[in-house]
Amino acid sequence: VKIDSKILVFYFTTRCAMACCIRQRISGPLASFPLCTTERVGPHVTRSQPGGVGSRQFWNWSKPRSYSVVRPAQVSPQKTVPDTILQPEYAVTSIPTRATQPMVCSTPEDVERMRRACQLAKAVLSHGRELCKVGVSTDEIDAALHDMIVKAGAYPSPLNYRNFPKSICTSVNNVLVHGIPDSRPLENGDIVSVDVTVYLDGVHGDTCATFAVGDVDEEGQRLISAAKACMEAAIAACGVGELMNVIPVAIASELAGTGTGFYVSPTITGHGVGEFFHTPPTVYHAGPVLETMEMVEGMTFTIEPVVTTGIPPYRTLRDGWTLVSLNHCRAAQFEHTIIIKKDGAEILTA
């Protein structure tokens, strides 16, 4: 196998720089690029290892904290969607079509379809925020938002996507992303990321936000604010003719300026979105990134950085989806779907 020498130089330079940032606490863009010990085995999937998240010692790891470490609870049966509602190709097979090209809205009708789907996703997320209260389970939130999406004539995009069993993702405290709603009631002091995507009029609209449940400590509040600021800084950097690698640079600059000591996960990326749930480009939030794709007018994609309170090694649970931090540090995420315009970027889910 022939490997380009530039790729090897980039790989080893990046690894050395990340190690230097961690050991010597160097500030700057690379300081927000944590070492990650996950083993990637496919899209959104990492492989758990013996003695990891399945061990009793892992879940009982003790350290004084103001929040609970979340572990899997009971998952209720998968909900259904009426056949009268337009459904994506994976609704029955669970296998999505592999998209090879970015979604570019070439007509006003395309833009309006995206806007309608994204505005519905926004409304659903807003309702989800109202439900994030002490004592309410994430399964109850999923059921309520599922019903809201279906009543609007849309399909909840996560449902049966690569066998995902629920209609939204709910990631609480030490769960970074792709948390499966279950019977665990939300507790005072929790932070929960609610990720909503809907399929309406043949296109997907995708958004996410992290909400505080009850009285959240100061660190948790700062974490939520930092994640939102990172997303906003990245969106502000987008525009016609910009390369995709302006996004991790903008995020690193924003985070370095806060002095919080938080980090951006390099594992979780944004993606193109439109007629397919996930399309090119891959949107990296931490770098350096050798990305040559240029933003063009009408391109739609998500920006969704995950910010953590430490440098966590990550693992995916046995359900194949739930990504947790092995040292139980918390994570917050914000996401918008945007469309590139001549004068910058329009947030379709705002």
Residues 9-39 have pLDDT tens digits of 333 434 443 443 333 332 333 233 233 333 3
- Confirm if 289 and 244 have CB atoms less than 8 A apart: yes
Check whether the bond before 313 is cis (ω within 30° of 0).
Answer: no
pTM over 0.75: yes
- Angle of helix 246-258 relative to helix 218-236, nearest 10 degrees, comes to 150
**Which residues of the chain have a pLDDT value below 70?**
1-64, 291
Gap between the Cα atoms of 239 and 345, Å rounded: 6
Gap between the Cα atoms of 172 and 245, Å rounded: 29
Rounded to the nearest 5 percent, the helix, strand and coil shares of the chain are 30, 20, 50
Nearest to residue 336, comparing CAs of 201, 234, 257?
234
CB within 8 A of 251, min separation 6: which ones? 32, 230, 233, 234, 264, 285, 286, 305
Gap between the Cα atoms of 148 and 117, Å rounded: 13
